[in-house]
Structure 1
């Protein structure tokens, strides 16, 4: 199967590093014109260069905007008024005890992880429907179903992403636009490496070793018994963005390494 996204444009939010950058590279490699996004122009410029190195000749551009704000979402939509593929990837996470999370953090997590997808879907979906083709993909998480006790505020936002993607899929029924959610499990992204920095410094373990130890300690139901790579997550996203995935919509697609202990 050859995925060909030539003539398609893809906006990938939060794509200056980690899973988002891997998705941008995968889409560009498949022929899409890719728009990367981050809060800082320097990071956006570096991501554009990284995607071009990975996919020489690819059309890549970027927009620096903070999508945790309505103004940032408006700025992105104004700079890129049309897209065929929208990957709502931008997100924040971090372990904090429920009783120590202030209202401001709940609001920040919801604004970035949920409202960015709401605002950008509202901006881009109508034109996709008019053209009769489009792909919207939300990056949720296994934490949407397996709420982590140390990140209840994060898990809530990822459950909200599932509800949003399913509802939008039903709203777009019959238009040729699909809306899906992808649920990664523990993934060795830059963010996870940063989260495990203290452990790595104390033990001298590599990022991969620390991530795998985290999986076995905190996500012991993992079947692959390791953290996924960002490329493994991106591969599924690229497929869901493709013409070949035309019968897949309203789905919660797991790339969690088997962490969720269910066959449903």
Structure 2
């Protein structure tokens, strides 16, 4: 398909799916249940992290989770007592269980005591990429040595801002002492070659603002042009059929390649085409 024809086609599909009707059957309906900024952030983060499998199941599990928090996640994170944590025991969605959940609660408790927004967790000081908890891509463990950075070309100058952002966030998220080793797999980063689909989806929800009533646009320091398209199996399949992806495997570089092509269609807001690609894949079985 030629460039202009492809752009016109995808723009039509964006308009078709980027509308409130999209919300009710998608995990983004979970944060739309809340109005306080911090509740939206927490609900959106869990909805993205738990986005495995059928969307109906994901939505049901998220509703179960926030019912356990009396539908007030921000208040729960800041003011829970030990007895309240017992109400989380037994929660499970696929490989995410209550051990993982309790660590997430501990992280949010610490973070929101220091900041009034989760956005700051994605904004690293300039020197943070050279500090502790740099992921060792060969073994999956964490190194506490600044010298480890020289072994990781992904952290060199010239790496896209969002790649550094996601690498930093993962190191920050697991900076609490005695984090459960099993929980590491639930928060990915480009250092693990992951597409980071869930975190990229979360960032899309928080950063994009087009007044269409789907994405929230409540974060202002990251820009839509910085975002990477969430690359799940549906988006990947449709993008390949449309000639937007040439890379054979599906990994972080694939997501970057796809986003680069989408930047040609809209350099200010490339990730809006996630609506088109996902809708074509899920709703239209393209």
- With normalisation by structure 2, the TM-score equals 0.29
Report the structure number with the largest CA radius of gyration: 2
Instruction: Name the one with the larger helix percent.
Output: 2
- With normalisation by structure 1, the TM-score equals 0.31
Instruction: Name the one with the larger strand percent.
Output: 1
